[in-house]
Structure 1
Amino acid sequence: MQTHDVVNQVPDFSGHDSFGTDAVAVEALQRWGRPEDVAGLTALGRLAGSTVTQSWADDAHRDTPRLRTHNRTGQRVDEVDYARSYHDLMRVAVGHGLTAEAWTQPADSGAHLRRAAGFVTWSRAEAGHLCPVSMTYAAAPALRSNPTLADRWVPLLASREYDPVLRPFGQRHSAIAGMGMTEKQGGSDVRANVTRAEAVADGAVEGGETYRLTGHKWFFSAPMSDVFLVLATTPAGVTCFLVPRVLDDGSRNALRLQRLKDKLGNRSNASSEVELEEAWAVRVGEDGRGIRTILDMVSSTRLDCILGSSATMRESVTRALHHARHRSAFGARLVEQPLMRNVLADLALEVEAAELLGLRMAHAVDAGEGDLARLGVALGKFWVCKRTPPVVAEALECLGGAGYVEENGLARLYREAPLNSIWEGSGNVGALDVLRAMTREPATVAALDKELSAARGHDRMLDRAIDAVPELVATAATDRGPWQARRIVEHLAVTLQASLLTQHSPTVVSEAFIAGRLDADGHGATFGSLDDVGAAEVTQILDRTWA
């Protein structure tokens, strides 16, 4: 029975270009990238904002992965069945070069920036399937420690052809990579790994020495990947190994999936526990130097943590702004209400600062600025990922009760929000890594100082924040460093964001961010407590975010 006409409802948030409406990404391509990359990113952006893709995302989270240990004749297969929509999402991501293609392009091609902009754009559609995409991107630099293995596998990891069927190497035209590092007793402390690696007598093959791995991996993400980088212990210490899913003779490698994780979010992506029963492997890098070998992979996945988190923030805030532009309450549209405008503008500043930091670090990879990328990625991994849950929570609250129901999309974003802060080292691990970089690799501090100095002279509060950096760097090298690590990292990260906004964003954005983040009296503990930002400036900030 229809009792009345329903009014004041918000239309579906679909049918837009997720790249073209992202001013930060568009300007980054104009500043550091190539004009010829815009067309492909625009096509990806239109697909990301389409109704079809939103239905894929919904299906992939409704029909979650299922473990199938045996086939109908009782043979062990250890496979995971995904919804068709998951494969549709993967096919687009791989087809747009979001895996390892950037590592195969010329250094001056801007390939990592293009890939980063695409990663942000497509992450807004659905984040879970980007986990194996990120690991595939990150596997390439780790494999470079073994040129023969790199020549064999990187072209497959860089392919734009998506093939979800398990096949031996000789029948593959592409490959997806996973990783297996953490164990029950160690977690982030991978030096505590007890998985054993025993060398095979006369087991040398093209690419290196072969081993048999026996042990347990507590978190083995994307178990249907074609190849994995796995840490195991030899007499020399923790070592990195390449473990194919299917052996060259077509038989399955001895990776026994025990269960799939029942996770808070990221539910479209399968994460598993696995037993390795003398699994065949080939060594990557030096014996006993596995952590050093895997760090290149970790650095790249940490960059994706920044990019993916900024995408989650942008999608949530854009949805909140969409709602506020169409919903009315107390006699006016929500977007016209002063306090709501403060909240939305404050959130928009956080989004722009996060995304610009991630894209600048991707450009640093292109430009060969390894020292800046080393420290900047570590800072961003800690800070941007920490800021994501409160940003998404505030954006969800902008919708009120509507934000708490599934069909509006914010609930899924909220469950996804904490993930990147945990993945590849939780907050304490990341903060201590920043201290380690500054004390052991002084060139990283010099690179950061150069980036910060480029913004000097534009704002006295920013200049004071930059002036405070040397003392914090000195503290990092003392016994007080670990105790104050989070305070040090927070200051460095926010100061770096403010510097980048001053250099590359409109003045209204940088000034509001600096006043709200670097002035001790200029901001409260919650979003929506901006002060001394005029109505016209707020309009510019919101219009820029809405594009």
Structure 2
Amino acid sequence: MSTAAAPQSRPAATTHEVVNQPPPLAGHDVADDPVLLEGVAREGAAWHLEELHRLGRTVGGEEAQRWADQANRYEPELRTHDRYGHRIDEVDFHPAYHQLMDLSVGAGLAGAAWADGRPGAHVARAAGFMVVSTLEAGHLCPVSMTYAVVPALRRSPELAAVYEPLLTSRTYDPGLRVPAGKRGLLAGMGMTEKQGGSDVRANTTTAERAADGSWRLRGHKWFTSAPMNDLFLVLAQAPGGLSCFLVPRVLPDGSRNTFRVQRLKEKLGNRSNASSEPEFDDTVAWLVGDEGRGVRTIIDMVTMTRLDCVLGSASGIRAGLAQAVHHARYRSVFGAKLIDQPLMRNVLADLALESEAATTLALRLAGAADRAVRGDAGERAFLRLATAVGKYWVCKRQPVAVAEALECLGGNGYDEASGMPRLYREAPLNGIWEGSGNVNALDLLRALAREPEALEAFAAEVGAAAGADRRLDAAWAELRGELRPAEDAELRARRIAERAALVLQGALLVRYAPGAVADAFCASRLAGDRGLAFGTLPPSADLAGLLTRLPV
């Protein structure tokens, strides 16, 4: 018989008790953001605020957040052939992706603003786009392209008469069918080719006129997102030069147009959205605009998608800030909440300052776009230059701001479950899509050289804040010198774009933001006392005043 002592009972393990962790950031109104709400009202869409709050509550809910996670976790899959060997070129999406699309199209974020005669309709749409961007950015690519295609399509009134009523629909109707028989349409674009990239005049896709007045395309595109959209604007070389064409996936007789999806791209981020390489081979198309004027035609579309890049980047910065603030409010370190720690307050206040500057500029551009489409020549001139400036700078700031916000969460932010890695992967996209930083900086130089009215409109916007802050006045005087024609202008194009963006943001904040915000911006972005990292605001900055502008 064993004489070994009986094992002693032990107290229950308590190592897995979860303490000092924030609750999920869910069940809140994403639109409950003073900077966003003030900007929407200021730019002429106060009538939209109630609907914006409804959308904000949906986006802030657990169900919508689950859709966002699933749409990125279960990525689109390409099916080139059916079970019998027929070529079908279809992409399958997780049901969560369709839920997101239904939410955004139903909220009017696709083409609906073009059918809304109310002043501020495009501002209302921009605000909704920003709210949904905080949830999930990938599905907004086809939404954005659908919005942007309308002004380009109007260059061919007979095509616009057929398709615009469906492009402006609030009904999401997926699946490849005859476009005219659907309840709503989505549109895309095909410009980029492997040998040219941003140099679209190097495109080799060809177009030949058919006997029935349509055209036939032959070629290969390198990046064409959302291949399951119904219609695409495509650039191709016609006998008269580079031209723009409308390519439907399904022809009026119900047959599939030749749109061979060779593969889907494996991308850094934006994984819920399918980006493809389609091949055209005797593909039926219709000319949009004048032959040989393809760039001029499609630039109307590019202008609007660049605006969405600014909106999306401003929203990405704010989404990162919201997560950082939420974490800091609940997490205790060294005996105090993170949000009460002086250095963390500096970081969060600096991020809030960056976010407010980006959001204010983005909504000012949306307001200009709204008034420009209603015939305001001055706003159109302002938009020409300011869109390039905003696209360059706000998209450059998103990756560094999101990285700083992720760091506020420490290791928790590096965990995929936090959502921060997805936000970080998305951050570089808007800086690349619709022209990289160099492309937009050089576009700014072209606007300065060819369109003096654009500089006049920009100067009037900055001049409206003259005398309100000596640091802004000094920065504007310095920038005016940079804007003069010079042989080395291309070499300095990025510096010019950066300074123009900061001066414009400073002028807007001086005019519209609380004094604490405007003062801190001018001190840290326009004057000499500027650190290179976030969290380097000078001791004179009113951190408490800045932290009252937080979105959550």
Question: Structure 2 length normalisation: TM-score?
Answer: 0.95
Query: How far is the alpha carbon of 1:524 from its aligned partner?
Result: 1.0
Greater Rg over alpha carbons, structure = 2
* Residue from 308, 313, 318 that aligns with 1:314: 318
The yes-or-no answer on 1:6 pairing with 2:11 is no
The yes-or-no answer on 1:194 pairing with 2:204 is yes
* Residue from 408, 411, 414 that aligns with 2:418: 408
Structure 2 equivalent of residue 84 of structure 1:
95
Alignment of 1:424-439 (within 5 A): 424-439=434-449
Structure 1 equivalent of residue 539 of structure 2:
532
Equivalent position amino acid for 1:29 in 2: V
User: 2 CA distance for matches of 1:3 and 1:56?
Assistant: 34
Query: How far is the alpha carbon of 1:2 from its aligned partner?
Result: 4.0
Alignment of 1:513-528 (within 5 A): 513-520=521-528, 522-528=529-535
User: 1 CA distance for matches of 2:345 and 2:215?
Assistant: 60
Structure 1 equivalent of residue 51 of structure 2:
40
User: 2 CA distance for matches of 1:113 and 1:397?
Assistant: 33
Query: How far is the alpha carbon of 1:29 from its aligned partner?
Result: 2.4
Q: 1:546 to 1:134 in 2, by over 3 A?
A: closer
Structure 2 equivalent of residue 282 of structure 1:
286
The yes-or-no answer on 1:27 pairing with 2:38 is yes
Using the aligned pairs only, state the percent identity: 55
The yes-or-no answer on 1:73 pairing with 2:84 is yes
The yes-or-no answer on 1:449 pairing with 2:453 is no
Question: Are the equivalent residues in 1 in contact too, given 2:43–2:363 (CA < 8 A)?
Answer: no
Equivalent position amino acid for 1:431 in 2: A
User: 1 CA distance for matches of 2:46 and 2:272?
Assistant: 34
Question: Are the equivalent residues in 1 in contact too, given 2:40–2:363 (CA < 8 A)?
Answer: no
What are the Cα deviations for residues 436-479 of structure 1, in whole angstroms up to 9, with x where unaligned? 011100100000000001111111000111112321221xx322
User: 2 CA distance for matches of 1:473 and 1:152?
Assistant: 44
User: 2 CA distance for matches of 1:375 and 1:258?
Assistant: 37
User: 2 CA distance for matches of 1:9 and 1:130?
Assistant: 32
User: 2 CA distance for matches of 1:51 and 1:421?
Assistant: 30
What are the Cα deviations for residues 74-115 of structure 1, in whole angstroms up to 9, with x where unaligned? 111000000000000000100010011112222x52001000
Give the secondary-structure state (helix, strand or coil) at the position aligned to 2:490.
coil
Give the secondary-structure state (helix, strand or coil) at the position aligned to 1:218.
coil
* Residue from 145, 158, 168 that aligns with 1:148: 158
User: 2 CA distance for matches of 1:539 and 1:197?
Assistant: 61
Ranges of 4+ aligned residues in structure 1 off by more than 4 Å: none
Alignment of 1:238-387 (within 5 A): 238-368=242-372, 369-387=379-397
User: 2 CA distance for matches of 1:3 and 1:456?
Assistant: 63
* Residue from 510, 515, 519 that aligns with 1:502: 510
Q: After superposing the two structures, state which structure 1 stretch, 414-423 or 161-170, moved more.
A: 161-170
Question: Are the equivalent residues in 1 in contact too, given 2:45–2:123 (CA < 8 A)?
Answer: no
Query: How far is the alpha carbon of 1:507 from its aligned partner?
Result: 1.1
Question: Are the equivalent residues in 1 in contact too, given 2:269–2:425 (CA < 8 A)?
Answer: yes
Q: 1:334 to 1:173 in 2, by over 3 A?
A: same
Question: Are the equivalent residues in 1 in contact too, given 2:43–2:367 (CA < 8 A)?
Answer: yes
Query: How far is the alpha carbon of 1:170 from its aligned partner?
Result: 2.8
Q: 1:2 to 1:543 in 2, by over 3 A?
A: farther
Question: Structure 1 length normalisation: TM-score?
Answer: 0.96
Equivalent position amino acid for 1:492 in 2: A
The yes-or-no answer on 1:512 pairing with 2:542 is no
Q: After superposing the two structures, state which structure 1 stretch, 25-34 or 239-248, moved more.
A: 25-34
Structure 2 equivalent of residue 207 of structure 1:
none
User: 1 CA distance for matches of 2:90 and 2:45?
Assistant: 41
The yes-or-no answer on 1:543 pairing with 2:537 is no
User: 2 CA distance for matches of 1:50 and 1:533?
Assistant: 38
User: 2 CA distance for matches of 1:546 and 1:168?
Assistant: 44
Structure 2 equivalent of residue 481 of structure 1:
489
Structure 2 equivalent of residue 158 of structure 1:
168
Query: How far is the alpha carbon of 1:239 from its aligned partner?
Result: 0.5
Equivalent position amino acid for 2:174 in 1: P
User: 1 CA distance for matches of 2:548 and 2:447?
Assistant: 39
Q: After superposing the two structures, state which structure 1 stretch, 502-511 or 80-89, moved more.
A: 502-511
User: 1 CA distance for matches of 2:165 and 2:235?
Assistant: 23
User: 1 CA distance for matches of 2:94 and 2:18?
Assistant: 35
Equivalent position amino acid for 2:442 in 1: L
Equivalent position amino acid for 2:473 in 1: D
Alignment of 1:178-189 (within 5 A): 178-189=188-199
User: 2 CA distance for matches of 1:366 and 1:180?
Assistant: 26
User: 1 CA distance for matches of 2:514 and 2:47?
Assistant: 25
User: 2 CA distance for matches of 1:529 and 1:423?
Assistant: 31
Equivalent position amino acid for 2:546 in 1: I
* Residue from 31, 52, 61 that aligns with 1:50: 61
Equivalent position amino acid for 2:23 in 1: P
